[in-house]
Chains A and B, each alone.
Chain A
């Protein structure tokens, strides 16, 4: 135990040899999150509406303002503009009377099909509000039954989905850099000749990478909490969910370092693997929200399983199968440990033959 702690202590001190990579790897997800939530993600949709010139237009505008989300946010924020019929940058909605029929018209610039669809839905909802009363028993009533006790704020979901990425990035990047630099500094000879058990050496490095991963995830968790005021339930469970993910990432970094023996390619492989895995692994929405193709690929990454296990901690509702996700993560971690041990044996321990 004393030797393991000493090895771990030395591993932590190696921070000084790759300080910049540590800072990038640990802080980058939190910075990314703060930038994305500050610049890109808003809780409401701004909707440009031509300033009402008739009672009909005014009543549609009033109906639009009442279209909310299930938890009653002012989901649509109509912004009144004086549109002269010129080019449209984003989208403008007008109400025109055509042959006695009131018509809501969407004028849009560069097509953002998602936004067009979203605004179309809002207009339809507003129209229903306006005219349902006149339709009597032919009225179309829309009921909303919320699955979750509260709305899935995108800022919270994005933060939740970034947590596995933060842990993964920190462990993978620092693991790759620390291992590759041993070849570059030629300090790998020290490990090659060391009488200490390889399992102990590898265990200390992996433990230190897991700690780095949890620190990175912790920083992000605080950033998400400060921005959204959403804090996960059972913090220890969050750490436990991220643990196998950090092990997988740490092993990936070590293997990349051992295979490439140079910092830059090992670093790039770890970086690309992290971002590709994160994007495929429910980064921007639950896998179940997408097609079956995406879902299948998504479940091959550890990220989706981690996101589905983390989801209840923030939103109080279970998605997917927690048992399957937990078992998958543990199996993936075990497989990666075996792979890292094999790579260490081949690249470090084994005597060079012919």
Chain B
């Protein structure tokens, strides 16, 4: 058995002059939920396409279950499932028909498929609606159906592009629960997302990508801890003109102006300075609001790139 599920070493892919994936390197362990986090256009989908072999790379090495997807596409595809960003199902066919269609294309052994279809549809809470045209399904149901389809041929790795894009909160949690349940059964997931909460809740480890390059790679907790500081967001009237000078001596490490009157401060220990901070502002300005928070993945992204993930 291969040591790790996926190994990527300096993978590069260009589209003309645009470098969509720029020397990305990471490794995914078996049974892990690994996240590719980055804004739209960061290169996440391109990276997934390199893993499936849909795209050829311009440089670097990629191994999926020990095989190069570019050279051994069939072996890789037999053992991986791919859920694209768009819900690509036949809307006029039923859920069962869509799964049978997938079975004919992907399943090595067709014996016992009927039972597998039934159990997957039950797992995804779609069994009651199995004969209805998919056109009548909600966004969350369609997404669950696509996940069921990707699992039908019992792949070892599932590549999931934006799992909960466009689905409601309830469906989102249901999809996360299904992914985590399947991970519990030994499946490996590579999930691409630009949703910080999703990456935070779902992923064991993640790589943050921007403009095709690695920004950071670790567990969500460690990424936040590595930041080593708290975040203080405050709004004043009038705006503080020169914040770096204004907050001198308070241990403020980074100041970012979010709005003309809103500042974001990174401090090592917010609780120890908050009293003095409020007193200093109160002497010359009116403090409209203040918020102290532990760093989020967005803060990690902001710290590394100077802009918010959702920009």
A residues lining the B interface (CB < 8 Å)? 2-3, 6-7, 9-10, 13-14, 16-17, 19, 185-187, 189-196, 201, 351-354
Contact = CB atoms under 8 A, between A and B. Distances in A.
Contacts of A17: 90-93
B53 interface: yes
29 contacts: A3-B110, A6-B100, A7-B104, A10-B100, A10-B101, A14-B93, A16-B90, A16-B92, A16-B93, A16-B133, A17-B93, A185-B88, A186-B88, A187-B90, A189-B88, A190-B88, A190-B101, A190-B102, A191-B105, A193-B52, A193-B54, A194-B105, A195-B77, A195-B106, A196-B104, A196-B106, A352-B54, A354-B14, A354-B58
Contacts of A193: 52-54, 77, 82
The 3 A-B pairs of least Cβ separation, nearest first, read A194-B105, A186-B88, A6-B104
B216 interface: no
B103 interface: yes
Contacts of A192: 54
B84 A186 contact: yes
Contacts of B74: 195
Interface in B63-81: 70, 73-74, 77-78
A24 B199 CA distance: 49
A351 B90 contact: no
A194 B104 CA distance: 9
Nearest to A349: B73
A42 B191 CA distance: 70
A286 B53 CA distance: 53
Given A10-B97, A195-B78, A3 B52 contact: no
Interface in B15-62: 15, 52-56, 58
A149 to B, nearest CB: 51
B304 to A, nearest CB: 29
B86 interface: yes
B77 A2 contact: no
Nearest to B55: A352
Contacts of B100: 6, 9-10
Interface of B: 14-15, 52-56, 58, 70, 73-74, 77-78, 82, 84, 86, 88-93, 97, 100-106, 108, 110, 133
Of A19, A185, A351, most B-chain CB atoms within 10 Å:
A351
A170 to B, nearest CB: 20
B104 A3 contact: yes
Nearest to B53: A351
Nearest to A4: B104
A-side interface mostly: helix
Contact of A6 (B52, B77, B103): B103
Contact of A353 (B56, B77, B89, B108): B56
Nearest to B100: A10
Contact of B54 (A3, A186, A351): A351
A316 to B, nearest CB: 46
Given A185-B90, A354-B56, 9 more contacts: A10-B97, A10-B100, A16-B92, A185-B88, A186-B88, A195-B74, A195-B105, A196-B105, A352-B55
Given A17-B92, A187-B88, A190-B88, A10 B55 contact: no
Given A195-B78, A352-B56, A14 B104 contact: no
Contacts of B97: 10, 13
B139 to A, nearest CB: 15
A201 to B, nearest CB: 7
Contacts of B90: 14, 16-17, 185, 187
A97 B28 CA distance: 106
Contacts of B84: 186, 189
Contacts of A2: 110
A186 B53 CA distance: 17
B298 to A, nearest CB: 30
A153 to B, nearest CB: 43
A347 B219 CA distance: 39
Nearest to A187: B88
B85 to A, nearest CB: 9
A13 B54 CA distance: 27
Nearest to A196: B105
A9 B56 CA distance: 33
Contact of B110 (A6, A19, A201, A352): A6
Nearest to A350: B56
A352 B73 CA distance: 13
A16 B94 CA distance: 10
Contacts of A186: 84, 86, 88
Given A351-B55, A351-B73, A185 B91 contact: yes
Nearest to A13: B97
Contacts of A190: 88, 101-102, 105
Nearest to A188: B88
Of A10, A201, A352, most B-chain CB atoms within 10 Å:
A10
A9 B89 CA distance: 17
Contacts of B106: 194-196
Nearest to B149: A190
Contacts of A6: 100, 103-104, 110
B105 A201 contact: yes
Contacts of B56: 351-354
Nearest to A10: B101
Contacts of B92: 16-17, 19
Contacts of B14: 354
Contacts of B77: 193-195
A185 B101 CA distance: 14
